Amino acid sequence: MAKGDQSAVRPRHDIDSLADIALEVFRSRGYDATSMEHLAAAAGVSKAAFYHHMTSKEDLLARGFERALDALFALLDEPAAREGAALDRFRYVLRRVVELQHDLLAEVTVLLRTRGNSPTERLALDRRRQFDRRIADLIEAAQQEGSLRADIDPHLAARLAIGTATSIIEWYRPGGKLPAARLADQIVAMTCSGLATHPTKSSAVTGQTRTAAPKR
Amino acid sequence: MAKGDQSAVRPRHDIDSLADIALEVFRSRGYDATSMEHLAAAAGVSKAAFYHHMTSKEDLLARGFERALDALFALLDEPAAREGAALDRFRYVLRRVVELQHDLLAEVTVLLRTRGNSPTERLALDRRRQFDRRIADLIEAAQQEGSLRADIDPHLAARLAIGTATSIIEWYRPGGKLPAARLADQIVAMTCSGLATHPTKSSAVTGQTRTAAPKR
DNA sequence: ATGTTCTGACCGAACGATCGGTAAGGTCGG
DNA sequence: CCGACCTTACCGATCGTTCGGTCAGAACAT
């Protein structure tokens, strides 16, 4: 008793809302360039007050990693990502990755920009690589079904597709003119069909490199 | 003489070689997470000795920005980037951007990861945006020539294409198994033609005809 | 209703460590 | 000797973090 009372008028800040604030500052300044003074100022409290609610700067980072990675893996477990033709599953996952960056822009950005300087960061990078591997598996399956070209290594294709989708963190801002759903459309379209109007020979520019000619 | 001599026993370090070292450390640790002690250790000298040859940490960063940006804009002035069909020029530039990241991986990485926290960084970001605009112009020209699809905004297409090409800094390392020329092939191919085997219009429900068991 | 007590939110000040950068002085080839 | 190059030792500033203490309000006994 005397614990989960209803009228909690007092708590102006809790861990989660402070993490929201901190991760947004991490996103815009970078984790290492952000001081606790920056975070406190963004929350409108003193540095000491900030520490009253949480334990350490690195813990805030870890929370961001966890949010982003949990969401990424959760997305792989959605029905549309598990059932159906591999191509459709790939397109769905790609689209959801874009949408996830709309919902968790700060968290995903912080995750993508980490360099692995601490055990916490290295752990996050490990989990991230596992995600990439899942995408590569998806692409490989689509290749075997004949719906994705087989002349590109699935791991490379996965990195490029994910790289295309995640590169939007550099400029995309929720609330702008371009809705996330439309952006996702165009990214899926470009990744699968390319920018060209009609299938161009992929060996037009190169002199000597022999990539396998596109089937049919 | 007295410049590129082979018997240079004394001058073990000059500004350019120290910048090489520093930028590589910046690349792997991130600029803000790198201390002057890290740089000195990487060069094998004391921190003070490092300062004997250069002026400030930020100057090293600025040198990296300049190297990368000068190379990027120089690439736009190459004949193959100025003459011919817009599609070919676009493909050429895309390929050269990939090759440039092979030659100047550290510089390009540092440029791409900067957050604009200082005037130096903001200046670099400005020049970088100008480069993106040049790519958008190229794409718009190709759209008007009918060789690139016109249903994607040229600025968005430029960002995605550049984003795809530059995303390789996250994993590509010179000297690995994949040669830069081959990687450039596949990036150009994917960007222009996409990953799919044949033009998928909408989410085609190409169902279960080819359900070869997804091995593994 | 009043006075007491307790608790959580908060602050100013300061901790030790490390930051980028400097001073003063050695070493060594010419 | 000079001057390029390197060292140890150190500077003030700032880092992430902690501490002692204040204050408003909920809880409780009266």
pLDDT in tens, B26-70: 999 999 999 999 999 999 999 999 999 999 999 999 999 999 999
Q: Does the structure show a pLDDT above 50 at A1?
A: no
The answer to whether A11 CB sits below 7 Å from nucleic acid chain C is yes
Identify the band that residue B25 occupies on the pLDDT scale cut at 50, 70 and 90: very high
Residue with nearest Cα to nucleotide C14 C1' = A48
Nearest Cα to A166, choosing from B111, B186, B159? B159
* B29 CB contact with strand C at below 7 Å: no
What does the pLDDT read at residue A81?
98
Minimal Cα–Cα distance from B3 to chain A, Å?
A: 37
What's the average model confidence in pLDDT over A21-28?
97
Half-sphere exposure at residue B195, Cβ-oriented, CA atoms within 13 angstroms: 32
pLDDT at B202 over 60: no
Check residue B9 and give its pLDDT.
46
pLDDT at A197: 85
Which SS3 state, helix, strand or coil, does residue A148 take?
Answer: strand
Q: What is the pLDDT, as a whole number, of residue B7?
A: 35
pLDDT of residue B8: 39
Name the pTM for this structure: 0.88
Mutation target among A122, A166, A197 for the B interface, most CBs of B within 10 A: A197
Q: What pLDDT is attached to residue B13? A: 83
Query: Residue A199 has what pLDDT?
Result: 54
A36 Cβ nearer than 7 Å to chain D strand: yes
Alpha helices in A172-213 (DSSP H): 180-193
- Torsion of the alpha carbons at B214, A159, B143 and B130, rounded to the nearest 10: 170
More confident residue, B194 or A101: A101
Nearest CA in chain B to A137: B216
**A192 and B191 in contact by Cβ < 8 A?**
no
Residue found under tokens 């000195």: B40
Residue B197: predicted pLDDT: 85
Query: Within 10 A of A64 (CB to CB), how many other CB atoms are there?
Result: 27
3-state secondary structure B94-143: HHHHHHHHHHCHHHHHHHHHCCCCCHHHHHHHHHHHHHHHHHHHHHHHHH
State pLDDT tens for residues B104-118. 999 999 999 999 999
Quick one: what percent of chain B has pLDDT higher than 70?
86
Which range has the worst mean pLDDT, B13-17, B70-74, B90-94, B135-139?
A: B13-17
Q: Cα-flanking dihedrals φ and ψ of residue B148, to 5°?
A: -120, 145
Give residue-wise pLDDT tens across range B140-156. Answer: 999 999 999 999 999 99
What average pLDDT does the segment B1-10 reach?
38
Q: What is the model's pLDDT at position A10?
A: 56
Of A164, A203, A206, the CB nearest to B164: A164
Tell me the C-alpha distance between B140 and B158, whole Å: 9
pLDDT at A205 over 70: no
pLDDT band, residue A196 (cuts 50/70/90): confident
Task: Please give, rounded to a whole number of angstroms, the shortest distance from the CA of A51 to a CA of chain B.
Answer: 22
Rounded CA separation B75/B92 (Å): 10
List CB contacts of A126: < 8 A, sequence separation 6 or more.
none
What's the pLDDT score for residue A198?
65
Strand C: which nucleotides have any atom within 7 A of a protein Cβ?
8-14, 18-24, 29
Shortest Cα–Cα distance, A85 to chain B (Å): 6
Rounded to 5 degrees, what are φ and ψ at A148?
A: -120, 145
For A82-134, how does the pLDDT look when each residue is reduced to its tens digit (9 = 90+)? 999 999 999 999 999 999 999 999 999 999 999 999 999 999 999 999 999 99
